Amino acid sequence: FICNSVLSFRNITALAPMVRVGTLPMRLLALDYGADVVYCEELIDIKMAQCHRVVNDVLETVDFVAPDDRVMFRTCEREKDRVIFQMVRQRNRSQRDENLKPGWAILEKDVAAIDVNMGCPKEYSTKGGMGAALLSDPDKIEAILKKLVAGVSIPVTCKIRILPTVEETVSLVRRIEKTGVTAVAVHGRLKEERPRHPVHCDYIQAVAQAVSIPVIANGGSLDLVKTNADIEEFRKATGASSVMLARAAMWNASVFSNQGPLPVERVMEEYLKYAIQYDNNAFNTKYCLCQMLRDKVESPLGKQLQAAQTSAEICKAYGMQELFQQTQERLQARRDTLQSSTEP
């Protein structure tokens, strides 16, 4: 039994799972600024089941690599006790999929917990019976979580959206609690609601009062959480144990710091350093930086960034080509050393 004494879900702030945003550079940056726990972007369980676990000695990471050589998930020692792997379950499986080893089996020793996303309203998720489609099928939720809790030695958590009434939401979370999950994150919006709609703190509060596992409040980025001090206000307003931030952190990750907020230019630079160091996918890096630029995306820097196609070009837009070059040389030197040490 792997006992993870470091990870707690009480009184923490978490970087929310975000597709394209929540890769290693953003997670490390959020940890630097003071996030206690960081979720990766959601990944489909079946895809993970097809991955190989590769120790990357050059980058000093552990990579989960798909059959087409794409790195689906990259992690490193520094975040081991803090990173939560979020998966979505694909319902429409072929027999071949069913015969695969479960997607989480290869992850257990590299992440602190596994989270199941039951709240994604996007069509690609709900069509396949994943994400928010599960919210209307509590039997299925129960079955998935029970199986996962029994099948892994690390904590299991789940993330949901609220249901149309407080009563239904509370009743669902009570069922979820009974499956043995360690915590539940509640995004205080209905699956039909868009991110610009106000968050329903009262629903989260009712849930937090009804269960004894930690509840992580989510959905406050737009109007409630703008600064570090607002995090505590949002926690109080929802009566939850903890707070999870998506957009506020994506726009400026220094929201996690009680010394912050730092100017976004500085945050972008720190992000880019990690993106270079960990060879982050260039389009992914560009996407994140564009999100951070927000309304400045049409500025001269924004335009240069949008035109960039490679990591080198992105770095050039930020005047960081020298650092890019040095990092490439350092990594190449490491590659050469490793290669010569393995040659007979």
**Active-site annotation, residues:** 120
* Token pair for 121: 């309203």
* Residue 21 binds ligand FNR, judged by CB under 6 A: yes
CA-to-CA distance for 54 and 313, rounded, in angstroms?
28
Instruction: Look at the block and give the residue holding tokens 């429409």.
Output: 92
Is residue 119 involved in binding ligand FNR (CB under 6 A)? yes
Q: To the nearest whole angstrom, how small is the minimum distance from the Cβ of residue 249 to ligand FNR?
A: 7
Site for ligand FNR in 25-54 (CB under 6 A): 41-42
Q: Is 2 exposed, middle or buried (0-12, 13-18, 19+ CB in 10 A)?
A: exposed
Closest CB 261 distance from ligand FNR, rounded Å: 15
**Any bridge partners for residue 62, and if so which?**
55, 75
Nearer to ligand FNR, 182 or 218 (CB): 218
Should residue 17 be labelled a site residue for ligand FNR when binding is judged by CB under 6 A? Answer: yes
Cα-Cα-Cα-Cα torsion 115, 121, 123, 128, nearest 10 degrees, comes to 40
Contacts of 318 (CB under 8 A, 6+ apart): 268, 269, 272, 301
Question: Would you give the binding string for ligand FNR spanning residues 218-237, x where CB under 6 A is met?
Answer: xxxxx---------------
> Is the CB of 44 or the CB of 272 nearer to ligand FNR?
44
- Least distance to ligand FNR, CB of residue 205, Å: 16
Q: Which of 187, 235, 273, 286 binds ligand FNR (CB under 6 A)?
A: 187
Nearer to ligand FNR, 157 or 327 (CB): 157
Judged by beta carbon, residue 21 or residue 208, the one nearer ligand FNR is 21
For the record, the structure tokens of 138 come out as: 């509590």
List, in sequence order, every beta strand (DSSP E) within the chain.
13-15, 37-39, 43-44, 52-56, 61-65, 71-75, 83-88, 113-117, 156-161, 183-187, 215-218, 242-245
Contacts to ligand FNR by CB under 6 A: 16-19, 21, 41-42, 86, 117, 119-120, 159, 187, 195, 218-222, 245-248
